[in-house]
Structure 1
Amino acid sequence: MMAGEGWTSRLLTGWAEDMQAAGIGVWRPDGGVYQAHETGIVIRAVPDRPDRLITLAAYPLGTALAGLADHQLAVQIRVRAGQDPRDCDDLADAVHDRYDGAAGVTWGGIAVVQVWRQSYTSLGDDTNGRWSRSENYYLDTMRPTARNSD
């Protein structure tokens, strides 16, 4: 399997593509350099540039029920913006407004039954004075495998 072909990679890539289509940020799957005026979207990494950044990182919530394809997953969305903390809040609000309560979507070919923001907190400012927030979204998805197909 090539990098980016796994279930989690496809889901996060699909979400990043949807964010770009909604005008929330710019997704460059090839790792291209973001311009200073852009809001970059990346998976797991937290590069120093650009100042405005959205990072997606999946983490498990628990085990799925045997025989069922129903799967619950958490995605931490780290949002970073400028030196005015309101800029960070505004970017996080754009993500929240688009995705909290989303239902019946497909990202990266993966059915997402529903999405909701479970929690968030400020991460304060970094050494460059840029403010960050951590947003935790929960997703009910379908993840069929050889043993879990219903």
Structure 2
Amino acid sequence: MATGDGFTSRLFTGLAEHLAAAGIGTWRASGIYQAGETAIVIRAVPPSPDRLITLAAYVVGGGHGNASTTQGVQIRLRAGKDPRDVDDLADAIFDLLDSAGPLTFGGVGVSQAYRQSYSSLGQDSNSRWERSENYYLDAERPTVHRPY
């Protein structure tokens, strides 16, 4: 298997592309962004640019014998010194994802996406406001042992 071919890689790359296609941020697999952009990255929290969307996977639960799974997605947001900026970014993501489906991210079928929780993370050392959003993706993840 080549890098990027796994379930999580395909799902998260597809999610990043979906956010970018909606105009919420900029996705570049290279991870190189300009100062005025809203970067979309996977797992990293780079010091720049100021506006940032970080996507990270966490386990929620499996289908227990079938291919259905719930994939947790932590969406960590960072924006400017006005707290409304990070809230506006979170609202744009909520409007796009909450209760959306069916979707396909990187070839992975997602029957529904929904926000589970969110919390303010306060300000970072550069006085930029941060926020954490937790979304669940009900997805299909067939394996040799769970083909359907």
Scaled by the length of structure 1, the TM-score of the pair is: 0.96
Distance in structure 2 (CA, Å) of the matches to 1:112 and 1:134: 22
After superposing on structure 2, the runs of 4+ consecutive aligned residues of structure 1 that deviate more than 3 Å are none
2:59 maps to what in 1?
60
Is 2:14 aligned against 1:14? yes
Distance in structure 2 (CA, Å) of the matches to 1:46 and 1:124: 15
1:127 maps to what in 2?
125
In the alignment, structure 1 segments of 5+ residues that lack a partner are: none
Counterpart contact for 2:62–2:68, Cα < 8 Å: no
1:89 maps to what in 2?
87
Matches within 5 A, 1:1-150: 1-31=1-31, 33-66=32-65, 68-150=66-148
Distance in structure 1 (CA, Å) of the matches to 2:93 and 2:61: 25
Distance in structure 1 (CA, Å) of the matches to 2:61 and 2:139: 13
How much has 1:136 moved relative to structure 2?
A: 0.2
Counterpart contact for 2:53–2:76, Cα < 8 Å: yes
- The number of aligned residues is 148
Distance in structure 1 (CA, Å) of the matches to 2:78 and 2:2: 30
Distance in structure 1 (CA, Å) of the matches to 2:112 and 2:94: 13
Distance in structure 1 (CA, Å) of the matches to 2:115 and 2:45: 21
How much has 1:100 moved relative to structure 2?
A: 0.4
Q: CA RMSD in A?
A: 0.8
